[in-house]
Amino acid sequence: MPEELHSLSAVELRNALRGGQVSAVEAAEHFLARIEERNPLLGAFITVTAEQAIEQARASDALHVRSRAGELPLLHGMPLAFKDLTDVAGVVTTHGSAALDHKPAPADAPLVAQLREAGAVSLGKTQVPEFGLTAYSENRIAPPSRNPHAPSRSSGGSSGGSAAAVAAGLVPLAPGTDGGGSVRIPAAACGLVGLKPGRGVVPSGESQGDPARLVVAGPLARTAADAALMMDALVPDSGHLAALEREPVKLRIGVTLDSPWSATFPFTPDQEALDALAAGERLLEHAGHTLGEAAIRYDNRYPDAFTTAWTAGVGSARISPHREVLLAPLTRTFRRRAQQRSPAKLSEALAFLRQFQHDTVAQYAEWDLMLMPALAQTPRPVGWFTGTGHGGERWPSAQWPGDADGDYRKQCEFAPWSSMINVCGLPAISLPVHWTGGTPGQGLPMGIQLVGPKGSEELLLQVGHQLGL
């Protein structure tokens, strides 16, 4: 079994670890070897913490000797990784930025502490965009994170390194954080299940410098069951995995292509995105659900208000003035604008977003779930958003193209159905339902997004499981 550990689902591996068929050290060594073999191509990891991982794994095995299986923590000995925006004690947190001093974190972030308590073993830190700001995971400190299904393509962002690691079998599952699509976008790009829980469901995954409370933690996994396992670790005693044994009721699902970005950045979905939507519709109808067209009206002031709230944190980040030149153009541009913005402007944007949430949730409530494509385009080539076209090599600061607004527009056209779900505080799931080559594993993965009402995380996972994902 140890030779094939990466082919097991996370649930299967969890059962093998708890049952003693596989030791935590065997699992850690297996996945560390996978990382050593495949990470040079994929750039999924910025930092690999092999020594700490083996030490944690030995402690897990010692606990197994002393304990009964039923007394072991939920993720006993489970290897995973944290995106490099999240502090792990004793490990450098880069935030994907060359402008920061890279010092080891003094303590675990709450998300890390939560998953350690659940028994997980961290193998390292995964690639992120600078401060998690973008829908691609490229920065100036390490090679970009590449898509395991097509290494010339991006794995998405901001949890792109974690998504690439899960999709390539470098870890069985991973937590991500999502403030504007940062779990769902890379999940869709890499052919994974990605769940964004509703606001407040996973308190340990919330972020400082987030005045609109956009950021939440959620699972990146290969199956709905694996995602449910991660949710049970993030929300103890919640029963997400057990809930998959129950069939969801027949649902009324509203289908829409409407986006709050359309007025500012008009876009046309790629045919591959429409094909994925059609595939999702067929699967849902075959499962007995009723689908209908939903026309959603969005206030066209949304893009400005969201951007104001989303970039507030980078404006207040502690960066030495003499090191700001090391920031990527997009970060530097939005940091300057945030610092020039008055507190009244931020308050006005937050007030608008609260009203936007009220209005949008009321429209969604006419349906049990909302359905839309996960992305409007196929996974983009590495360097496409920044205009580097450099194929993945790190560029000196002076040579990185500086069209921040063009970069941002491309991102909004790529993922136009993501950020408003964070503003509304609703749960949403990205499900891989289509491959551009026609059969699973051929071509590029494309997904759908299902959005549910408050408290529907179990239902979204049940629907994903029902569709065979």
Return per-residue pLDDT of the chain as tens, 469 residues. 566 999 999 999 999 999 999 999 999 999 999 999 999 999 999 999 999 999 999 999 999 999 976 799 999 999 999 999 999 999 999 999 999 999 999 999 999 999 999 999 999 999 999 999 999 999 999 999 999 999 999 999 999 999 999 999 999 999 999 999 999 999 999 999 999 999 999 999 988 889 999 999 999 999 999 999 999 999 999 999 999 999 999 999 999 999 999 999 999 999 999 999 999 999 999 999 999 999 999 999 999 999 999 999 999 999 999 999 999 999 999 999 999 999 999 999 999 999 999 999 999 999 999 999 999 999 999 999 998 765 444 444 444 556 899 999 999 999 999 999 999 999 999 999 999 998 888 899 999 999 999 999 999 999 999 999 9
Write down the residue that tokens 């040579």 correspond to.
399
- Determine whether 9 is an active site residue: no
Inter-residue contact 331 to 323 (CB < 8 Å): no
pLDDT in the model for residue 395? 44
83 an active-site residue?
A: yes
Tokens found for residue 407:
């970069």
> Whole-angstrom Cα distance, residue 192 to residue 226?
11
Strands of the sheet with 121-126, listed across from one edge: 45-48, 121-126, 79-83
Q: What phi, psi does 52 have (nearest 5°)?
A: -65, -40
Catalytic residue among 23, 97, 122, 158: 158
Task: Give the contacts of 59 (CB within 8 A, at least 6 positions apart).
Answer: none
pLDDT at 387: 86
Contact 144, 382 (CB under 8 A): yes
**Separation between Cα atoms, residue 62 and residue 102, nearest integer Å:** 33
Of 23, 60, 83, 137, which residue is the catalytic one? 83
Catalytic choice (60, 137, 162, 182): 182
254, two tokens: 């509203």
Helices assigned H by DSSP within 321-468:
329-340, 343-364, 404-414, 419-424, 457-466
Please tell me the distance from the alpha carbon of residue 218 to that of residue 435, in angstroms, as a whole number: 24
pLDDT of residue 438: 87
Predicted pLDDT at 15: 96
- Taken in order 82, 84, 86, 88, is the CA torsion positive or negative? positive
The answer to whether 448 touches 280, Cβ cutoff 8 Å, is yes
- Helix or strand holding residue 150 (H, E): strand 150-154
Helix pair angle (24-42, 160-167), 10° resolution: 110
What domains sit in the chain, N to C, each tagged with a CATH number? 2-303+305-466 (3.90.1300.10)
Determine whether 158 is an active site residue. yes
Rounded alpha-carbon distances, angstroms, from residue 176 to 157, 186, 459: 10, 10, 20
Give the C-alpha distances (Å, rounded to integers) separating 1 from 4, 8, 14, 23, 74: 6, 9, 13, 11, 21
